[in-house]
Amino acid sequence: MSIVAPQGRKHLSADGLFRLVQSGFASLPDYRVGETEIALTDALMSAFAMFSLKAPSLLAFDKERAAGNLHTIYGIERVPCDTHMREILDPVSPKWLRPVFKSVFRQLQRGKALEPMAFLDGHYLLALDGTGYFSSQTMHCASCLQKVHRNGALTYFHQMLGAAIIHPDMREVIPLMPEPIVKHDGTDKNDCERHAAKRFVAKLRKDHPHLKFIVTEDSLSSNAPHIETLHAYGLRYLLGVKEGDHAYLCKQVQAAEHAGRVT
Ligand SMILES: [Zn+2]
């Protein structure tokens, strides 16, 4: 998370926002029973720090443990080793983290950090895209998506629909709670993303019923069912198209161009 705080707004500094994330984590119930060596908040904060520091791997992050910055900057008492971090965090449901995204967003909104990101007529650009974050030939769980290769081999993987408020002139982005793409979402990439997008926009509207958005997506999203979903939730959009995937549309535009009907 890279957010530059305007002068005199301490709660919008990296420090202030890290504390907010931490207190959000601290309010989550620890699912473990009995004595625990490392607090759930510390494990969650360590994972957050790993991404915040852009560590290339869990192992690379493991080396930071000794450096002591994790305590000073992220307020972590005890940093778990990589195996222990996986053990503690694997059972944590992603949806538990939703309130943390919301509280950071609210803080930015209250601190007037959101307004300058308006792109057109008070609308915010909301970039959506599917992305993979786990892939393995051997390790898998009940929620894994599966790809069967021509030779019969299986690849297990996880994907999510990522979302962030962006502005072409600003380096900072505001990430929103991503939506996991799950097994029953469908068999092809298009289907999967469409179903996840449907859930995403429903939750987005629940969290932010009045915010004006222009959704930007790649050409995978340029299909009628998805556009109908965007309409239903009062979202505007800028969607990519590909000549190969949208032959009819491109033909219409070409014809209109010839006739001088394109503005
Ligand atoms: Zn899995």
Given a cut of 90, whether residue 190 has pLDDT beyond it is no
The alpha carbon of 72 and the centre of ligand 1 are apart by a number of angstroms equal to: 34
Task: Please state, in angstroms and rounded to a whole number, the distance separating the CA atoms of residues 230 and 232.
Answer: 5
The alpha carbon of 236 and the centre of ligand 1 are apart by a number of angstroms equal to: 33
Given a cut of 60, whether residue 8 has pLDDT beyond it is no
Cβ neighbors of 223 (< 8 A, separation 6 or more) are 190, 194
Q: What is the pLDDT of residues 33-58, one digit of tens each?
A: 888 899 999 999 999 999 898 888 88
The alpha carbon of 193 and the centre of ligand 1 are apart by a number of angstroms equal to: 17
Tokens of 204: 């987005």
Please tell me the pTM assigned to this model. 0.86
Three-state SS for 147?
strand
The alpha carbon of 224 and the centre of ligand 1 are apart by a number of angstroms equal to: 30
The alpha carbon of 141 and the centre of ligand 1 are apart by a number of angstroms equal to: 4
- Are 188 and 194 in contact by the 8 Å Cβ rule? The answer is no
The larger pLDDT score, comparing residue 57 to residue 157, is at: 157
Given a cut of 90, whether residue 263 has pLDDT beyond it is no
The alpha carbon of 127 and the centre of ligand 1 are apart by a number of angstroms equal to: 25
Q: What is the mean pLDDT of residues 152-175?
A: 94
The alpha carbon of 183 and the centre of ligand 1 are apart by a number of angstroms equal to: 9
The alpha carbon of 204 and the centre of ligand 1 are apart by a number of angstroms equal to: 25
The alpha carbon of 153 and the centre of ligand 1 are apart by a number of angstroms equal to: 17
Q: What is the pLDDT of residues 229-256, one digit of tens each?
A: 999 999 999 999 999 989 999 999 999 9
Q: What is the mean pLDDT of residues 53-81?
A: 84
